[in-house]
Amino acid sequence: MPIKNPPTWPPIHRARRLMLAAGEVRDYWHKWFNAVDLWKITKGEGVNVAVLDTGIDEAHQCFKDGAIVKAIDCTGDRRFGYRDRNGHGTFCASVLGGRGDLQGVAPKCNLFVYKVLNNRGEGTGQDIARGIDQAVADGCHIVSMSLGSDFPDPQIQAAFKRAIAARRIMVAAAGNAGGIDTVGYPAAWAGHGAAGLDCIAVGAIDEFGQLAPFSSTGDQVDTVAPGARVLGAAVGGGYIRRDGTSMATPLVAGGLACAVAHHLKAGNHATPLETTAEAREHIKRSAKDAGQPGEDDEYGWGYFDPLTLVRNDIATPLEPAPVERQTITLPTPWGPVTIGMPALPTDKAQIDVGTIGFNW
């Protein structure tokens, strides 16, 4: 079954090329995410992130300094290979991990690009499954998928199960159908851990924090991020603005890359962050509530907030190590009493009863 980008969703990826002056470029989502403060903590260093889309324009200024580690074609495009002739994949990769004038959320992450959609933005289940499997084989921690369909594909489903079993964080666009209960696949597999399937489903908001009218809703939605008039790289150079949950998805994937980078750097944590389910728990604790109190079908757990996610992680105390205990018997006026206490070093095994501090 062909998978389109967007699939049967309205074609709302309106693009307008912009002429911007050279130098640092900022979009509203940088302020929304408090990117400057986030980057003081982490820029996603050392995290491998897969972008499954229409390929990449690797010559764009956004991808300088080795941002793209690997780019391969899964569609059999003999003419263009992994190169992006559509623009969607280049845009998504730039807001996730761009390093040029316009920096992505995680500008120091390692981008792995898998062209799974053709130059019309369409793909087959076989090609997308191949991209997922290759991303897992290449050691990608996070897989970002700004694509979807109204119906589940068995080959993609099987690849998803393999990725979840391999402890990868899967992130996908909720869809652009608007309305009620319209989340597309693979995002609709969000929260189906019991079936070996899971995904972080991402909806879209505008610059004022309102749910974008095209954003699909349903109980699968985990969080929302900027997806209206988002600024990103255009094929051939320059920048454009696009609308869609496709734009919000790489922003969430990039924010998760920053959190994973912090975990990799800091080592031991009380709250692990390796799997999709663990990523959801971090989002639940850090997202800013929006819409109805608590989780709801439009905003999920609320606005995705990578800075709070990372700061919460920094402040999370480690669980105390289990205390080895020993049992000792003490003499009392009423006879021997057996008590439990922390094990003592061997050189302290002989203790005086008085040092315990009992008052008989």
Active site residues: 53, 88, 246
| 8 A C-beta contact, residue 38 and residue 279 | no
d(CA 209, CA 191): 25
Q: How far is CA 155 from CA 11, 129, 169, in A?
A: 25, 6, 19
Distance of CA 264 to the CA centre of its chain: 15
* Helix residue ranges, H only, the chain: 28-32, 35-41, 88-97, 125-137, 154-165, 245-266, 276-286, 306-315
Angle formed at CA 90 by CA 66 and CA 303, multiple of 5 degrees: 100
HSE toward the beta carbon, residue 118, CA cutoff 13 A: 14
Query: Tell me, what amino acid is at 27?
Result: D
* Nearest CA-CA partner of 214 in 197, 227, 195: 227
d(CA 109, CA 131): 19
Residue with tokens 């959801």: 280
